[in-house]
Structure 1
Amino acid sequence: MRLLHTSDWHLGQHFMGKSRQAEHQALIGWLLDQVEEHAVDAVLIAGDIFDTGTPPSYARELYNQLVGQLYKAGVPLLVLGGNHDSPATLGESRELLAHLGTTVIASTHEDVTTQVIVLPQRTGEPGCIVCAIPFVRPRDVLHSQAGQSAEEKQLSLQTAIQEHYAAVHAAALAKMLSLANSLPGKLPIVATGHLTTVGASASESVREIYVGALEAFPTTAFPPADYIALGHIHRPQRVGGLEHIRYCGSPLALSFDEARQQKEVLLVDLDADGLKAVTALPVPCFQGLVAVSGNLDSLRGAIAAAAAEGSRERPTWLEVTVAEDDYLADLPARIEALTEGWPVEVLRIRRQRGNTAARLDAAASETLDELSPHDVFARRLQQEELSDEMQAALNERYRAVVAGLQGEEA
């Protein structure tokens, strides 16, 4: 069984006054080529297919185009709701899309068996069982209780989400048993999720989704699935260094701090023995997106280099951060003069001194009473140059120590 794992398309994103329609159109064409070239059995989108709950008409048209083209290719599609998606918007076409080989799980269901999806291979034979878990909204799994502290609310939500995973996984095991007599071997189980996990590295375009309630979901709370396909974090990565728990990341850079990331989708190969391989397919850059910084003299060369990624028909989008000369009142006019004649378009100008001052003012106004122990530890880690795996390991260890101390105090 070969799955293509992708997420966070954010169709309809309005990026600093610019539409991403042409990029998403190119992405769909590229993806369909990969599906055919690599003989993909099914495509899984792990949340945030749309950028807002009320996507523009062209975004819905792109979505329908993807559904129709995959159906024409004989490849089923599984779409999960994300925190940007509206359950009502995704759900409105669910029954219609089911006739076109697409399964939509827009939100969690009270009957968890409806979240157990058997994805077929191209031959029509069952290929894997998916615990199809979208973004879990607290109101769907949790009843708030008066008098709870912030930490108690966080623990309650984590427990409720973990229990939902366990219930869906149990239903998946029951489904496997019901199919056992008609299959030569057991089916691999894939779980999904749209959330932040402990140790995941985010970017500025990723919204916090459990503000004040759940910082990150621990990897140990996931069920024992053969592969866990995650969405929400835009940077592709293994979680905690584990091969079978993956963020595929967004296929397009959704903010300037993602501009230098190599975007990708993941090919996931599974069989009766479980996970066999995960292969990253690099996504081409359909629109140049470059962040440059320096004083006005050094920016000349940086802008010229950025221009090499663009063309007259599709200029490179620039974020310009000015250092040293950032006090100048006519800075926008000077930047415009630097870019004149180059195939670039400046979307944002930042003054380094102003940004630094704002950060210092914000930091100075904070007190330890406003920060949790995890906030303090996270900020200390930011000062170190550590690998993702090391950061994840230190975070896990720190959380365990804090939990132990809190248990002793109780």
Structure 2
Amino acid sequence: MRILHTSDWHIGRTFHGHSTLEALRGVLDELIGQVREHEVDVVIVAGDVFDSATPAASCYTLLSDTLRGIADTGARVVVTSGNHDSAARLGFQAGLLRDGIHVLTDPDAVGAPLTIDDAHGPVHFYGIPYLEPALLRHKWEGVRTQAAVLGRAMDLVRSDLAARGGRSVAIAHCFAAGVEPTPHLERDIQQGGLDVVPLATFAGVDYTALGHIHGRQTLAEGVRYAGAPLHYSFGEGAKPRGSWLVDLDADGLAEVQWLDLPVPRRLVTLRGPFADILADEALAVNEDAWVCVEYTDALPEADPLRRLQQRFPFCAKVVHAPAAVRSGERRSYVERVRAARSDRELVEAFLSHVRDGQGATEREGEILDDLLDERVRQEAMA
């Protein structure tokens, strides 16, 4: 059986105020062509299909067009929900889709596989949607972290697989140990004190298709992240875009290879004095790229973005980054807030600011975690 592992489409995400919808449509059309060219049997989309829990109508149109395009090649499609998706809204669409397209968003069905047969027998696909510990405590006692909730889910998978036998694929959306997060993009996974998931959690299946990290990662031969099909931040600019092509034979995992996807517009970061960046003829090759400028002048420039866009029409971000910084200077409150990657860290930044460096006590931290979990639960039920 041949499987294409993709994830993190983030349909509807903007890039510094610019829509990415048409660029993503072009990339996903290329992905459909790869499915046809390589005679793929099953396409996996491992979560974060949408960028928002309430996507616009145009986002649903792109998703439907892409899923139909994949199904038209003869491949089956297995989609799970991620932390950016609304599992309820994504799951509602499942009943409206054609045969061969499977949307798995129900936590109660984690241990029940979708089984697809090939010449060597059954392959069991266990779709694990993004699991919020705060919403599962009443069902799974003692789960307070992502590590605990994914561990419980994989226990259900292994128990079911032991009874069924055969080959297996797990699909999950989480922050697994051994990978570096992409700054400012995966902050939700740590909201309310959620932690990383150990690699050993995914033992016992032939292949684990992970989503959430936006760059490709190989944690083990059979445990991988495919990353996002588009670059969604300048920090991702050097990372390739694509999917994993996974072959299973009669004994399990046989081969995995990478398939590149096209990059609609390059991302570059230019650093140096403001005047040099505007005047340097060698930088002309970047005039059709998405550009981030970090100018190193001691003083900030007036209206820098407009001036830079006169030369670089796709300049999307400007950062004043002076070359010299006073030694021993403490981070300002604004810098601490900008560096925060979760709501808990935002509160810690505030407490440290008003308490002259003293953050939350152990007891205060427990109360904060409970309050943040309660807010997540209320938002999910709204």
1:119 maps onto 2:97 in alignment: no
- 1:290 and 2:268 matched: yes
**Conservation of the 8 A alpha-carbon contact between 1:195 and 1:217:** yes
Give matches, 1:6-405, under 5 Å: 6-97=6-97, 99-109=98-108, 111-114=109-112, 116-121=113-118, 126=121, 128-143=123-138, 153-154=144-145, 158-176=147-165, 187-204=166-183, 205-239=185-219, 242-300=220-278, 301=280, 303-307=283-287, 310=288, 316-324=289-297, 326-337=299-310, 339=311, 344-353=313-322, 360-361=331-332, 362=335, 367=357
Q: Cα distance 1:299–1:278, how it changes in 2: closer, same or farther (>3 A)?
A: same
* 1:3 and 1:268 in contact (8 A); partners too: yes
Contact 2:147–2:195 (8 Å) recurs in 1: no
Where does residue 403 of structure 1 map in the other structure?
none
Q: Specify the SS of the correspondent of 2:314.
A: strand
Percent identity over the alignment is 30
2-structure distance, mates of 1:144, 1:76: 31
Letter in structure 1 aligned against 2:136 = V
User: In 2, are the aligned partners of 1:81 and 1:107 still within 8 Å (CA)?
Assistant: no
Which residue identity lines up with residue 116 of structure 2 in the other structure? L
**Which consecutive residues of structure 2, in runs of 5 or more, have no partner in the other structure?**
337-351, 363-382
Q: Deviations over 1:326-373 (max 9, x none)?
A: 523343454245x1xx5x32222111149979983356958585699x
Compute the TM-score of the two structures, normalised by the length of structure 1: 0.74
- Whole-Å Cα distance in 1 between the matches of residues 330 and 285 of structure 2? 29
Distance in 1 separating the partners of 2:40 and 2:309: 47
The whole-number CA distance in structure 2 between the counterparts of 1:217 and 1:25 is: 32
Gap change, CA 1:359 and 1:105, over 3 Å in 2:
farther
Could you give the per-residue CA deviations for residues 188-244 of structure 1, whole angstroms, max 9, x where no partner exists? 2111210001121121222331324332011112231111110000010112xx211
Change (3 A) 1:227 1:324: same
- Asked if 1 retains the 8 angstrom alpha-carbon contact of 2:305 and 2:318, the reply is yes
In structure 2, relative to structure 1, the CA distance for the partners of 1:293 and 1:105 (3 Å cut) is same
d(CA) in 2 for partners of 1:113, 1:188: 15
TM-score by length of 2: 0.80
The 3-state SS of whatever aligns with 2:52 is: coil
Query: Aligned partners of 1:159 and 1:104: how far apart in 2?
Result: 24
CA–CA distance in structure 2, aligned partners of residues 194 and 107 of structure 1: 14
Q: What amino acid is aligned across from residue 169 of structure 1 in structure 2?
A: R
Q: When the two structures are aligned, how many residues end up with a matched partner?
A: 337
Q: Which residue of 2 aligns with 1:401?
A: none
> For 1:77 and 1:20, how far apart are their aligned partners in 2?
23
CA distance 1:272–1:153, shift in 2 (3 Å): same
Gaps in structure 1 of 5+ consecutive residues? 177-186, 311-315, 373-410
Helix, strand or coil at the partner of 1:92: helix
Distance in 1, matches of 2:99 and 2:67, equals 7
Q: Secondary structure at the match of 1:208?
A: helix
CA distance in 1, matches of 2:68, 2:116: 18
Q: CA deviation at 1:120?
A: 4.1
Give the partner amino acid of 1:191: A
Q: How well do the aligned residues superpose, as a CA RMSD in angstroms?
A: 2.9
Is contact 2:182–2:235 with CA below 8 Å preserved after alignment? yes
